[in-house]
A and B are shown apart, each in its own frame.
Chain A
């Protein structure tokens, strides 16, 4: 018999099999048979050259319009999510930190997060959060990424600096406590201090029950968030998988040697 710890460790949170996806309007194939299995407690890094399909993978998994899945499957925690709307995937525990967080004038960060949190809780048939508990949570979680609590009450991302936008993404991740978080180039445009803060936030949030997928161009993020696996995505497929040393090798040699 397996002990409890082992059962938990073996739980697969995201299982992508033979995924083929194309851009709907152009009919252009981007993902061409991608396989990826992510278990609870793991950190995966996906690296690869421009145009390899890294951001498409993030968009397709989170359910963005404009892509057609022509083959393959995506399961989250054992359930097929391909037919779910983006919000339903979020309610199932998926989180996407955007490469380019959208500015939404007039919608306050707090207001929208509370709406999101309560919709998620309703979906999971959990009790709604009280205003008081919610505000306490905002204070606690914004401290995690050193985000000025004043920013939390401003309009979503409006007038935020690049670094503040990325920290706001991780703050939202902290508020929503996802099972699987995909961080799409969260390191891009960050100076080293901001990168450290964001990475520290992610490290505090990761535990044996959730998983983090880092999509990144650069090895430097992986100095701060240490991955269990590093995958190379090229031309729509994972062409190589290794441990964190692979990232260093990529940094040194580029991607050409893989072909």
Chain B
């Protein structure tokens, strides 16, 4: 194991469970990626890897009222599930908090995670308990289940793990909110695995509101069976380093896959979204739309990879990435990666980066709207296209409220 990695995890104990011991062993052969690795080309991890971190099961009661947007919610503080702060009915979602020994019995658990990925392996070695959510066959859940991840304190590492099995013909939504309470120089390393069974509809809405000295790396490993619809919306409004790795294997025909992102920054944030849709079979559609509004000295990274495997015919893959730079010091690295091995495929991608339209600002000003407010209206409209596609009013309201609190945008 590299000295750097060894130093990084030196305060963490590995559970005696076989699964986690194995994962820890794997770490011995791994190291942190550098910008020489194509997958991490634009994202430096130097600051994160130098942090000295430890676990802390914080017992405090927390007031999370402002962040609760669903009747059913689970609270996780520093990687520890807090049943005392959670509230949920087992009628809609089958929820369990399980150790790795129990999870290892699940057919789909850990199966498709990249074992060479240092962060996914670190998560496997050090998570406390897995939140396992099963949605029964044909179960239609009107309300979403929310999971609130809280970082609290200084120099804390949280390895959080979520496992979702959306049963045949079920319909449900999971909201994940990442928030902080007096948290600095901390790191959340999250992994979600989701198995979307035949004809199931699953939507994940993520709101990431980390502290500007914190890092959040989130890896989503999704598997879609035939006729299923999967949608994941990611909103990032703050955070020193935020990296999302969304990997979706579309393994059944007639699937729909949607990925949307809304990113707003104002300081030194580095927000990196790597998405990967693997079209393994025919007759599927994937839609992707990520929008960044970057201010201050922040950096955005967008890497959208789409693979259409040989014999996966009649695929329609559509990708869009739009960026507005609000300052001369903000920057964006945007890269589509389309690998198409089939011939009857419709793939399109477009990336635009620019400043706000001066003519539009003047038009609004000429009607009596101040320049600042005119800019806000335009930026709001730009990102609004993504936010309005979330299909959950409460989540949209929550995002709008956070835009007001964090970025001073009012509606």
Contact = CB atoms under 8 A, between A and B. Distances in A.
Task: Please indicate whether A and B come from the same complex rather than being unrelated chains.
Answer: yes
Nearest to A120: B368
B132 to A, nearest CB: 40
B369 A87 contact: yes
A24 B214 CA distance: 46
A48 interface: no
Contacts of B374: 87
A120 B365 CA distance: 11
A101 B359 CA distance: 9
A87 B358 contact: no
Interface stretch (A108-116, A141-149, A245-253): A108-116
A203 to B, nearest CB: 22
Contact of A116 (B360, B367, B371, B378): B367
Contacts of A210: none
Nearest to A121: B368
B366 A96 contact: yes
B358 A119 contact: no
Contacts of A136: none
Nearest to A91: B368
A65 interface: yes
Nearest to B372: A87
Interface residues of chain B: helix, strand, loop or mixed (majority): helix
B381 A105 contact: yes
A3 B357 CA distance: 50
Contacts of A116: 364, 367-369
Contact of B363 (A101, A105, A119, A176): A101
Contacts of A172: 367
A113 B367 contact: yes
B382 interface: yes
A2 interface: no
Interface in A32-73: 62-65
A112 B370 CA distance: 12
Contacts of A155: 381
A91 B364 CA distance: 12
Q: Which of B358, B366, B377, B380 has the most chain A CB within a 10 Å cutoff? A: B366
Contacts, number: 78
B362 interface: yes
Nearest to A105: B381
B378 A176 contact: no
Contact of A87 (B368, B377, B378, B382): B368
B371 A85 contact: yes
Nearest to B367: A116
Contact of A65 (B362, B364, B385): B362
B373 interface: yes
A65 B380 CA distance: 23
A27 interface: no
- In this complex, the interface size class of chain A, counting residues with CB under 8 Å from chain B, is 20 to 34
A90 interface: yes
B298 to A, nearest CB: 22
Contact of A102 (B359, B368, B381): B359
Interface in A94-128: 95-96, 98, 101-102, 104-107, 111-113, 115-117, 119-120, 123
A201 interface: no
B370 A87 contact: yes
Interface in B11-67: none
Nearest to B359: A102
B296 interface: no
Contacts of A91: 368
A86 B366 contact: yes
A186 to B, nearest CB: 14
B368 A62 contact: no
B377 A115 contact: yes
A104 B378 contact: yes
A107 B378 contact: yes
B384 interface: yes
Contacts of A106: 378, 380-382, 384-385
Contacts of A107: 364, 377-378, 380-381
B369 A104 contact: no
A64 B361 CA distance: 10
Interface string B382-410: 10110000000000000000000000000
A115 B377 CA distance: 9
A104 B381 contact: yes
List 6 A-B pairs, minimum CB-CB distance, nearest first: A106-B381, A90-B368, A86-B365, A102-B363, A116-B367, A87-B365
Interface of A: 62-65, 85-87, 90-91, 95-96, 98, 101-102, 104-107, 111-113, 115-117, 119-120, 123, 155-156, 172, 176
30 contacts: A65-B358, A85-B370, A85-B371, A87-B364, A87-B366, A87-B368, A87-B371, A90-B365, A102-B359, A102-B360, A104-B364, A104-B378, A105-B381, A106-B378, A106-B381, A106-B384, A107-B364, A107-B378, A107-B380, A112-B367, A112-B377, A113-B367, A115-B373, A115-B377, A116-B364, A116-B367, A116-B368, A155-B381, A156-B363, A176-B367
Interface of B: 357-360, 362-371, 373-374, 377-378, 380-382, 384-385
Given A104-B357, A112-B367, A176-B368, 8 more contacts: A65-B362, A85-B370, A95-B366, A96-B366, A106-B380, A115-B373, A116-B367, A155-B381
